[in-house]
Structure 1
Amino acid sequence: MDASPLSIGIDASRIAVAQRTGTERYTYELVAALARVDRRSAYTLYTNGLPSALPPLGPNMALRSIPLPRLWTHARLGPELARRPPDVLFVPAHVVPTIHPPASVVTIHDLGYLAFPQAHTARRRLELELTTRWSLRAARLTIAISQATKDDLVRRYGADPARVRVIHHGLGGSFRPVESPLEIADAQDRHGVAPRYLLYVGTVQPRKNLERLIDAFAMVADRPELAGVQLVIAGGRGWLSDGIERRAAGHGLAGRVHLSGYLPDEDLPALLSGALAFVFPSLYEGFGMPVLEAMACGAPVLTSSSSSLPEVAGDAALLVDPADTSAIAAGIARIVGDPALRAQLRERGLARAATFTWERCARETLAVLRESVEPPV
C-alpha cells in the first residue's frame, strides 16, 4: 500500500456537542487518536461553528469552521469540499454530503431505528432510512463498528460485504479502576447514590430496555442479598423516557430506583468502580461502549445476549436474554449474591477491555482511508 501523505477531510461537526455520548464520543476519541498515530497526513476538521472543546490536535490538523444554522452538511460542507477537495473525506458520525470526493468513507454505527422503530418518530425514522441508504451508496467504503452492524447492513440494505470494514471502538484512558474509597464515596454523595448499588449508564430511552430492568429489579429487591441495594439509572433523557419514570414509581420502591441524570465524564470511573455490578440489558446496540467502560473500571457486567453485546463482552460478562424479565431478575440476584462470580467477571473484564484501544481503531481507520483512494483493480 502506498504510504505517501494524504489530505484527509473529516466531518467533525459532532465534536462540538457538550455532552458527548455514543457517536460524539467516537468522533472525539478517534480524532484524538489519529493525532497521536499519524503525523504525516494533512487533516482538515470541518465544524459548524467553533467547538467549545476540542481533543488534542496534531500540528498536521487544521480546524475549518464553516457555520450555517440549517442544512449544514449539504449546503455548507458540500460546497466547501468542492472548492478545496481533500484526497479522502471521512464522515465518522453523520451523513455523506451530496457533494463529496470520490474517495469518501462513512462510519455507520447501528440500525436501531429498524430494530426498535417505536423509539423514533415517523419523521426521524424516514430521515435515518434515507440518510443511511444514501451514505452506503455514496461512500466508496463503509466502516461498521461491529460485525453485528455489518451483518445488519448486508441483510437489511443489501450492502456489498466487500465494501464494509469492521473496526471496533477503542476505550479512553480515563476509564480505569478507582481504588480510593473516599473518591468513590464523594462521587456517590454528589449524585445521590447509595453505598450498595447496581449501575446503568446510557441514554434513558425504550430500546435500552429500562422498564424491563426496573421490573426485574422489583422482582428480587426484597431478597436478603439485595437488602439496601439501589438501582441507579444514569443518563440523559431520550425519546419516550417519561414511561421509565412512571414504571419506577409504580413499583413503590422509593429511594431504591434512582434516576440520577447525565453523569459527567470525570465521575464515571469512580461510580463504575464502586458498583456491585453494571447492568446493561439493552435490546439493541451497534457496539455497546458502556459495557467496555464498565469492564475497564473493574465493574462486573450483566448485559444482553443479543445484537453486538456478546461480540463486545466475550466471556467477560454475565449474559441474559433481554426479552425475558425473569432471566434479567435471576441474573441480578446471581451477580449480587455471588462474590466469587463478581471477582471472576472483574478479572476477565479488565483483561477484555485492555484489548480495545483508540490507537488500534485509528490505525485501522487510517488503513481504510488509504484503501479508499487506491485506484480500483
Structure 2
Amino acid sequence: MAAILVNTRNITAPLTGVQRYTVEMLRELADEVAPAGPWLNLRGKLGHLWEQTVLPSKVYGRLLWSPGNTGPLAVRNQVVTVHDLAMFDQAQCYRDGFGHWYRWLMPRLVRRVRAVIVNSRFTRDRLLAMTEVEPSRVHVVHLGVCSHFRPDAGGAPKLPFRRYILCLGSLEPRKNLPRLLHAWQTISPSLDPDLGLVLAGGEGSRLIYPEQALPLPPRTCAIGRVPEAELPGLLANATAFAYPSLYEGFGLPPLEAMASGVPVLSSRAGALAETLGNAALLIDPKDVGAIAAGLRTITLDQSLRKSLQHRGFEQARRFQWRTCALATKAVFAHVLETQSSDVPVLDHHDPLAGRRPHTPDHGVPRAMLKVLDRRRAA
C-alpha cells in the first residue's frame, strides 16, 4: 500500500494552474502515491463536503497530501499545498460564500497539518504574516513548465488576426482584464492594423467569482478555453504575451510563454516579480497608462523583444516539474521520518483509525494515468 495518499478532488475541475500542478505531480510521483477522489464530479459545496467527511475515512494511517489549497480538518497527518492567499488579499474578487469558507478553513488547516508547501517566497511570507503556523513547517517548492511549451510547438488555431498579443487566464476579476482592454483601446490605433488582442481562457465559476462586464474593443477577440493540445501552438505563435494580473501566488502562464520564446509584459504584483525576475517587462497593473505604454514597447522595440526572448527562455528553463517533484518528495520524507514520534496519525475519535482497506493500492493506477493523458491532450 502506498505510504502517501493524494487528495485528487480538485482535478474534476477544468484544467487551470492548480489542476495542472496536481496532474503533473501525479505523473512524476506515479509509483509512490495513491490517488483518492470522489467517483462523481463533485463541485462546490458537495466537493468540500466529500473532502471534509468522506476523505478522512480513506486515509488508513497514511500521510495525506492535499495539493489544491484545501484538505480535511480531521486529518492531522497531512501536507497541504497553498497556492496563494488571494481570498484574503483580494477578497473583493470572490463571492462572499466562497471567500468566507476559505478564510475560515485555511488558517485552521495550515496550523493543524504536518507541513505546508507554497509556490513562492511571497506566498510563504503572506502565510506566516496571516497565521500562527510555525515557519519551519512551511516549504517553498516552485512549479515547473511542461516540455511541450517551446518555440517550435506548431501552428496557432485559426484567428481573425495575422499577429496577436495573447492574454491567457481565467476570465475573472483578479486577472485585471478591464484595465488591459482599456489600455488596448487606447494604444491599438497607433499599432499595426494586423495586430490584435486575443483573450484565451474560460469564464471563472459563478460559484466563486462575481460577474464582470467585458465589452471588447476593436481588434479584440475572446476565444474561450483552449484545448490543451492547441495551447503550445497558440503561445508559440504570439507576438507578445500580456499578463497584467492584480495578484498571483506564482505565475505559471507567463513562464510558459517564456518557454515558448515569446516576450512577456507582466504585472509585478504578488509573486510575479519573484518568478519572472528580469526576464519580463514589468508594469504597475493598476496604471492603465503603464499597461498601454508596455504594450507599445513590447510590440515595437525590437532590441528589447530579442533581449526578453533570450532572458525569458533561460528563466523558464529554471523551472522543471521533475525538480518540483523531488522537492515535494523531500517534504514528504521529512514528515514521514518524524511521524511516529510526535503526531497521531488520525484524531483519536476517528472510528476508522487502524482499519485497513479491502484492496491494496500501489501507486497511481494505469487507468488514471490514461485519464491524465487525455486531460493533457484534450
If the length of structure 2 is used for normalisation, what is the TM-score? Answer: 0.83
What CA deviation, in whole Å up to 9, does each residue of 1:127-184 have, x standing for no partner?
Answer: 111121122122111001111111110112243222110001011122111265xx23
**Counterpart Cα distance in 1 of 2:29 and 2:172:** 32
What CA deviation, in whole Å up to 9, does each residue of 1:254-273 have, x standing for no partner?
Answer: 3x111111111111111111
What CA deviation, in whole Å up to 9, does each residue of 1:29-54 have, x standing for no partner?
Answer: 1111123xxx4x4x221011178xxx
| Matching residue's letter, 1:120 | Y
Cα 1:152–1:304, aligned 2, differ >3 Å: closer, same or farther? same
Q: CA deviation at 1:123?
A: 1.1
Q: Is 2:93 the counterpart of 1:115?
A: no
Runs of 4+ in 1 over 6 A off after TM superposition: none
| Matching residue's letter, 2:304 | L
Q: Which residue of 1 aligns with 2:138?
A: 164
Q: Does the Cα contact within 8 Å between 1:105 and 1:142 map onto a contact in 2?
A: yes
**Counterpart Cα distance in 1 of 2:71 and 2:201:** 29
Q: Is 2:280 the counterpart of 1:306?
A: no
**Counterpart Cα distance in 2 of 1:73 and 1:31:** 18
Q: CA deviation at 1:69?
A: 7.0
Structure 2 gap segments, 5+ residues each: 343-378
Q: Is 2:40 the counterpart of 1:47?
A: no
Q: Is 2:209 the counterpart of 1:209?
A: no
Partner of 1:243, secondary structure, is coil
Q: Does the Cα contact within 8 Å between 2:257 and 2:263 map onto a contact in 1?
A: yes
Q: Does the Cα contact within 8 Å between 2:165 and 2:197 map onto a contact in 1?
A: yes
What CA deviation, in whole Å up to 9, does each residue of 1:298-341 have, x standing for no partner?
Answer: 11100011210011111111001111111111111001111221
Q: Which residue of 1 aligns with 2:213?
A: 243
**1:102-181 equivalences in 2 (<5 Å):** 102-178=76-152, 180=154
How many residues of Structure 1 are paired with residues of Structure 2 in the alignment?
A: 332
Q: Does the Cα contact within 8 Å between 1:145 and 1:166 map onto a contact in 2?
A: yes
Higher RCO (CA-CA < 8 Å; seq separation 6+)? 2
Partner of 2:198, secondary structure, is strand
Q: Is 2:5 the counterpart of 1:9?
A: yes
What CA deviation, in whole Å up to 9, does each residue of 1:201-222 have, x standing for no partner?
Answer: 0001111111001111111111
Cα 1:365–1:179, aligned 2, differ >3 Å: closer, same or farther? closer
**Counterpart Cα distance in 1 of 2:202 and 2:232:** 17
Structure 1 gap segments, 5+ residues each: 52-67
Cα 1:179–1:12, aligned 2, differ >3 Å: closer, same or farther? closer
**Aligned with 1:269 (options 229, 232, 241):** 232
Q: Is 2:36 the counterpart of 1:73?
A: no
What CA deviation, in whole Å up to 9, does each residue of 1:49-105 have, x standing for no partner?
Answer: 178xxxxxxxxxxxxxxxx87711122111222xx221x1111014221332x4311
Q: Which residue of 2 aligns with 1:28?
A: 23
**1:315-354 equivalences in 2 (<5 Å):** 315-354=278-317
**Counterpart Cα distance in 1 of 2:93 and 2:73:** 28
Q: CA deviation at 1:355?
A: 1.1
Q: Does the Cα contact within 8 Å between 1:96 and 1:138 map onto a contact in 2?
A: no
| Matching residue's letter, 2:316 | A
**Counterpart Cα distance in 2 of 1:69 and 1:319:** 37
**1:213-232 equivalences in 2 (<5 Å):** 213-223=180-190, 225-232=191-198
Q: What is the RMSD computed on CA atoms of the aligned residues?
A: 1.9
**Aligned with 1:359 (options 308, 322, 325):** 322
If the length of structure 1 is used for normalisation, what is the TM-score? Answer: 0.83
Q: CA deviation at 1:121?
A: 1.3
Q: Which residue of 1 aligns with 2:244?
A: 281
| Matching residue's letter, 1:216 | A
| Matching residue's letter, 1:237 | E
**Counterpart Cα distance in 1 of 2:8 and 2:16:** 15
**Counterpart Cα distance in 2 of 1:69 and 1:91:** 13
**Counterpart Cα distance in 2 of 1:177 and 1:161:** 40
**Counterpart Cα distance in 1 of 2:221 and 2:109:** 40
Partner of 2:65, secondary structure, is strand
Q: Does the Cα contact within 8 Å between 1:226 and 1:336 map onto a contact in 2?
A: no
Q: Which residue of 1 aligns with 2:61?
A: 85
Cα 1:335–1:70, aligned 2, differ >3 Å: closer, same or farther? closer
**Counterpart Cα distance in 1 of 2:196 and 2:211:** 20
| Matching residue's letter, 2:27 | A
Q: Does the Cα contact within 8 Å between 2:199 and 2:224 map onto a contact in 1?
A: yes
